[in-house]
Amino acid sequence: MPGPAGVVQMDKASYEQICRILGEKRSFLQGDVACAYGALLAGCDFFAGYPITPATETAETLARLMPRLGGAFVQMEDEIASIAAVIGASWAGSRSLTATSGPGFSLMQENIGYACMSETPCVIVNVQRSGPSTGQPTEPAQGDMMQTRWGSHGDYEIIALAPNSVQECLDMTLLAFNLAEEYRNPVVVLTDGEVGHMREKVILPEYDEIAFTARRQPTVAPADYLPFQSVDESLVPPMATFGTAYRTYVTGLTHKESGLPTTDDAVAHTRLITRLVEKITRHRVELTRVEEQFLDDAEVAVIVYGITSRVALNAVRTLRQQGVKAGYLRLIGIWPFPEEKVRQLGERVSRIIVPEMNLGQLVHRIRELVPDSCQVSALPSIGGRVHLPAEISSALMTDRKSPEPEGQHHV
């Protein structure tokens, strides 16, 4: 029955069936497996992918479990085909997923842009590994933060979430499906080889803990339906999927509200792209997800995400024990960027350290947002090496104007 988008509940029988297949309520899982579990609990019924370390376990888990739940698992010939099939499946009405790592994520970029342009809900798990190129296949990295944001050509917005634990791999993948439907946009779950491969305790969410955002269907007759016209403040148009007699026209070309191409009209292009961007940025506050610790009286702070946050929190706790007013801001929602949280922090503290497993990516975005009174330093670690707590605490204690400590370089 067509109706407005909204958080409804998954039907209980489906939930129970999924739980039966997943087994124990509490288990000890790898992050990649937890992503697969999160997807199934989100109602994912289509997966297409291509094997790649360190993401393969997501595919393998789904290959085993999806047939038992009536879903479709397809191994495609490459990652370009995988994301293409995922988009096609979404237009066929399914909740669809692919999982990959750097090389595959690079191959997907053109079609991720297509998903943004055609407003196709879908989820991409990117278990980041060390690059560029084939790099260090088994080593974790956070090198795709900017590629996630800017990897396809043209202007667009993307939603990205960065879990830091196996439990969050499940929770964030589940959430990603709901956000994809709510905003009619691809959502990227940005884990890394460390989070993806480590094992931790996971507790399956209870039935009433699971939100289920249903796809918003048109309420008007096919003749009156404009698939790319926003009908309310959300700017997200209802989506008539294929096979529902709406005869929907979908293209990656610049299009009118009807979906039909219009390729040399600057006004139409500006209108379309502005809406696609604003339907995300207008909801920046709702899409902001952070973890804040020790910030109330903080004088220096670390801004961190993913696996690095586990180490950073340890460092901050140690400093607190030593009486240092150190704070911790963890970004869970990466894109759209949680601007307000970062700006506010920058106004309160004199120094921000940004440890990343890359040579400095989100640090640039952070620098743009904070006032000059706040010193922002990158703290890179590449090669698959997760930071040590002592590196982070010593960076937090180091005034940038004073000489750099041995073995550390600020970018």
Sites of contact with other proteins (CB under 8 A): 20-21, 45-46, 48, 67-72, 74, 76-78, 80-82, 84-94, 96, 110-111, 114, 242-243, 245-253, 258, 260-261, 263-264
Strand duo 159-161 + 186-192: pairing: parallel
Rounded CA-CA distance 233/247 in Å is: 26
Instruction: Name the token pair of 272.
Output: 């379309």
- Residue number with CB closer to other proteins (187 or 374): 187
- Count of other CB atoms within 10 angstroms of residue 233: 9
Residue 290: CB minimum distance to other proteins, A: 34
Q: What is the phi-psi region of residue 23: left when phi exceeds 0, alpha when psi lies from -120 to 50, beta otherwise?
A: left
Q: Shortest distance, CB of residue 385 to other proteins, whole angstroms?
A: 37
Q: Return d(Cα 335, Cα 339) in angstroms, integer.
A: 10
CA dihedral over 318, 384, 33, 104, signed as positive or negative: positive
The total number of residues written for the chain in this structure? 411
Return the DSSP state at 153: S
- Find the shortest distance in angstroms from Cβ 253 to other proteins: 7
243 vs 405, beta carbon nearer other proteins:
243
Residue type, 214: A
Q: How far is the CB of 246 from other proteins (least distance, A)?
A: 7
CB 172 within 8 A of CB 161: yes
Q: Which residue has the tokens 């929602």?
A: 333
First to last CA, the chain: 55
The CB-of-243 to other proteins minimum distance in angstroms stands at 5
Least separation, in Å, of the C-beta of 254 and other proteins? 10
**Tokens found for residue 94:** 């399914």
Which C-beta is closer to other proteins: that of 254 or that of 361? 254
User: Cβ of residue 95: shortest distance to other proteins, in angstroms?
Assistant: 10
Least Cβ distance, residue 7 to other proteins (angstroms): 23
Residues 6+ apart with CB under 8 A from 63: 73, 75
Q: In angstroms, what CA-CA distances link 356 with 139, 170, 204? A: 14, 23, 30
Which one, 150 or 242, has the nearer CB to other proteins? 242
3-state secondary structure of 381: coil
Please say whether the beta carbons of 116 and 68 come within 8 A. Answer: no
Report which DSSP code applies to 138.
Answer: E
